[in-house]
Chains A and B, each alone.
Chain A
């Protein structure tokens, strides 16, 4: 911190450091966002009305696998970051794209899961439980999708020598965001899926 701070103060400023701080601050806000969604879910999780309850529809083994895939993407993200700090662009690109792929697989799993649920009669309008389930997991999915986009843009920008460590969305910052989204999923998976049965 202090080294960076000195640099930041000498006329121009260290944009990379500032961006990292900004991402941390932003994620602080996101914590409350997901906290509120989870609180809503907890309030409503027993309110299933005439519709199916969690235990009627959830397929825990399936979701465990897709959760595992998402967790693995944190690993590949670390590898991408590692390669980036070695300035090994090629390896970095490979791991970035791998991370994006894993994220996409997770999203595909979510879409599949949702269609299954709908077939079992659990739609957004069924009950407060259903509404809050879809809002929570849906907005998490949206976060994953944004993350995939960020990963792809970062990988893309690294072609043609345009990538700079201290410019734009560097790997470290995308990584912060990605890990956050993963950690939030662990909480959601535990609270929403595992605590039900």
Chain B
């Protein structure tokens, strides 16, 4: 089935540097995807360590491990890291690697812009993490509520937070523009929008969400930064500023962001379930449209995070209702997934287990979420561990389980080798049990009144046992992650060779070799149906069951030359300039020199960039 590379097409002979320089200058969407993935894992270790420290501190009453100050830094950085530096880049890893392939394209629309997004993201992440060594990390909570975040101007912590998020936002806007353009202009012939795989659809919705929600928080972050450094009065209530404005701007971004974190996982699950149930996705177009509906509605419900801020009964009722409505498209998706499994011939391998785990945990998280939309009950739960339990069921049980499902599903495509199933199942079960042990008890803790963001609690309030359970659970999760890393290490050289189509897949990525050649497709495929690749392998008999074709439809052979984007160091240079500028901006006015230097470096990178593309064309 696989088309051999050597005979089919001739790829232009751009010299590709090897080693570290090769990675720094790469413009190949697949390598950039791998970079995103590895970076997400690295930051995951950071964010996970922070979580473990939090849990150690809270394991017993009157914990002694962290001071109140250190605790504030821990939970702020844990939240920020997990959201912006782990889950988002992990999803970006899949999008980068697979979006073009799923569309039947050779690359994204703007390969160098893609590299720029990655490097801006990495420097933004470093910028945030470095603060631990520069006088303390941000400590105002991951949503940096004003005026808390605008006070204490002599401490630079929240400057790092505001600027870091502006830089990370820039990276996300750039890649959203890139992905949307890719979807609009790079689809293979016949790949209509409705034939696009669901994962590609969810990546598109996520890009739109980021595109429209990041500008709002960016404005807010500018305001916070200026209040801290220039003495502006946006959030200074004494001067007539309005701290609640920050909450609106934050949640206008923050609520859509929740879907940014969960929709990619939903997309992955929608690819995994059909493959391992050997059935097409049930109600495919419903899944797509409900994804869009969630995207639209995500912008209308932000204020449900602010019920306790006192918005007035009308606003509260409106936001409570819209919030309950948003559960509808989500529920639709869950029925579609169950419908897909129903009556299918299931293969319960690790990828599938993670998808099933996703559904189970996400339903729990979703249900506890609905209880928040009821304003009086939210007043009770607000800022207690009940909320912490809720959003970890969604973000950990949902997003992270979905991502691991994708890891096991697509690993063989990326590396050419299968991950070990026995270790994989250990990984899954440890994580599943650990997850429920960690966050299940937090529901109880919350309802018993344990407030979130307290660094210690006295004995005898009925918190002790549940907290201990949660801590044991957290270490079980950590063990599961170690098992995964061991699996990775082991199968690097010893894993079973996967071949192009180890799962008998449905979508285009399985039609090319594993790992894919640099140009993805020897010849751009022509698509005639949903699940095109499946239909090249199978026909349906009279009762609708798939029957293997005797001779699978082979791709034609082309000898047209293929042009690939050449490597470039300009993206990493420009991103480095932005990094230097941001550092300078924290230490104004002395930092002005660094701001200037950074601006020059960025301009140099961008200017070289626009010149470079011309030179390449002249060679032809």
Contact = CB atoms under 8 A, between A and B. Distances in A.
Interface string A1-39: 000110011111111011101100110111011011100
Contact of B233 (A19, A33, A36, A127): A127
Contacts of A130: 233
Determine the main DSSP class of B at the interface with A: helix
Interface in B254-270: none
A44 interface: yes
Contacts of B245: 40, 43
Interface in A39-81: 40, 43-44, 47, 49
The 6 closest A-B pairs by CB, nearest first: A33-B215, A131-B232, A47-B240, A125-B231, A32-B215, A36-B219
B67 interface: no
Contacts, number: 138
Given A127-B233, A131-B233, A167-B613, A32 B212 contact: yes
A161 to B, nearest CB: 10
Contacts of A40: 219, 223, 234, 245
Given A28-B211, A167-B613, A21 B233 contact: no
Interface centre among A11, A35, A49 (most CB of B within 10 A): A11
A9 B617 contact: no
Q: Classify the interface of chain A: helix, strand, loop or mixed.
A: helix
Contacts of B551: none
A177 B215 CA distance: 17
B214 interface: yes
Interface stretch (B23-31, B183-191, B285-293, B404-412): B183-191
Interface in B186-232: 186-189, 211-216, 218-220, 222-223, 226, 230-232
Contacts of B617: 164, 167
B216 A153 contact: no
B494 interface: no
Given A13-B109, A131-B226, A29 B614 contact: no
B239 A127 contact: yes
Interface in B276-317: none
A8 B186 contact: yes
A29 B177 contact: yes
Nearest to B612: A168
Interface of B: 105, 109-110, 173, 176-178, 180-181, 184-189, 211-216, 218-220, 222-223, 226, 230-234, 236, 239-242, 245, 249, 524, 560, 562-563, 607, 610-611, 613-614, 617
Given A12-B563, A131-B232, A43 B211 contact: no
A167 to B, nearest CB: 6
B303 to A, nearest CB: 15
17 contacts: A8-B185, A18-B186, A25-B181, A26-B173, A28-B211, A33-B216, A33-B218, A36-B216, A36-B219, A40-B219, A124-B230, A125-B230, A127-B239, A135-B226, A139-B222, A167-B617, A169-B610
B617 to A, nearest CB: 6
Contact of A29 (B187, B215, B240, B607): B215
A33 B219 contact: yes
A153 B610 contact: yes
A127 B237 CA distance: 11
A157 interface: yes
Contact of B173 (A10, A29, A169): A29
A40 B232 CA distance: 13
A86 interface: no
A17 B185 contact: yes
B239 A153 contact: no
A137 interface: no
